[in-house]
Chain A
Amino acid sequence: AQKITQTQPGMFVQEKEAVTLDCTYDTSDQSYGLFWYKQPSSGEMIFLIYQGSYDEQNATEGRYSLNFQKARKSANLVISASQLGDSAMYFCAMSLGGDTGRRALTFGSGTRLQVQP
């Protein structure tokens, strides 16, 4: 069965510094996708970034990048130049399902990031 592990329940970072949120995954499938979502205190889930298992380059979206190490089964999120508005819960998630398009997500337990001024 697939599993996502986030080992950091909480993290602190100084404003303007970079921070890495850890995520490891476990699956025997060859085709999968990895996602990061942000959940501010208001509760909505905001999609940040996606990495496909066959993508050779690490995904980047603005200040977010995904450090994908397939052999180690890790998909860490790197946030550069942290801002106060980055304070939130962050979830790593994985989808399986091949090419059917029927892709439910398996989520990790989340990491609460607090950015300090």
Chain B
Amino acid sequence: DVKVTQSSRYLVKRTGEKVFLECVQDMDHENMFWYRQDPGLGLRLIYFSYDVKMKEKGDIPEGYSVSREKKERFSLILESASTNQTSMYLCASSPAAGGSYEQYFGPGTRLTVT
């Protein structure tokens, strides 16, 4: 079974702190994604990566950066956390070829910025 894990289920940080959200997948997938989920808005893409050290901006990249030094790990970084970044963050991975390109999701990290 594909497994996508995220470093924390719940996280509370203060405004201005640098925050790291880690995501690891064990299926050798090329693609990895970070989404944020807010009520009434569904999931919105922040960044994605299709290879090591490669990244592309999604729909809402402002205030975020990412890092992918190893194929299995994709990190989301909030350089200076703000209260409007309080949200649920979901990581996902998918293969680059074959089938439906279904994305496999991690359990999510609920981040609260106070």
Contacts and interface: CB of A to CB of B under 8 A. Distances in A.
Say whether A associates with B. yes
B100 interface: yes
Q: Quick one: which of A91, A107, A108 has the most chain B CB within 10 A?
A: A107
Interface in B55-114: 56, 58, 88, 90, 92, 94-97, 100-105, 107-108
A60 interface: no
Given A106-B45, A108-B42, A109-B41, A44 B108 contact: yes
B13 interface: no
Contacts, number: 62
Contacts of A50: 100, 102
A56 B74 CA distance: 36
A101 B31 contact: yes
B interface, size bucket:
20 to 34
A45 B89 CA distance: 12
B42 A101 contact: no
Contacts of B41: 109
Interface in A44-103: 44-45, 47, 50, 52, 91, 93, 95, 101-103
Contacts of A101: 30-31, 50, 95-97, 101
Contact of B101 (A9, A33, A44, A107): A33
Interface string B16-32: 00000000000000110
A109 B48 contact: no
B104 A47 contact: yes
B104 A107 contact: no
10 contacts: A4-B42, A33-B101, A35-B103, A37-B105, A47-B103, A50-B102, A91-B42, A101-B50, A101-B96, A104-B33
Interface of A: 4, 6, 9, 33, 35, 37, 43-45, 47, 50, 52, 91, 93, 95, 101-110
